[in-house]
Amino acid sequence: MPINQLETNLSEITTTIAYLEKKGCTDQKLLNNLKNERDRLLKDLKLK
């Protein structure tokens, strides 16, 4: 269960990336932007 807004956002972005990849999304720009945002959140939470 997410404790704060950063963790909530991280969870939702991760779920969205997994969903789009499973559905065969070919928009690499969108996927890269989501992955970059996920990496930024991980750094903010000091998890990466």
Domain count, the chain: 1
Cα–Cα nearest to 38, from 4, 19, 12: 12
Q: How far is CA 6 from CA 3, 27, 33, 46, in A?
A: 8, 25, 17, 11
DSSP secondary structure letter of residue 23: T
Take residue 44 and report the two structure tokens written for it.
């903010």
Can you give the residue range of the structural domain that contains 27? 5-44
**Do 45 and 37 touch, CB atoms closer than 8 A?**
no
Q: What are 1-48's pLDDT values in tens digits? A: 456 898 999 999 999 999 999 999 999 999 999 999 999 999 988 876
In the prediction, which pLDDT does 37 show?
Answer: 97
The structure's pTM equals 0.85
Q: Quote the CA–CA distance of 11 and 7 in Å, as a whole number.
A: 6
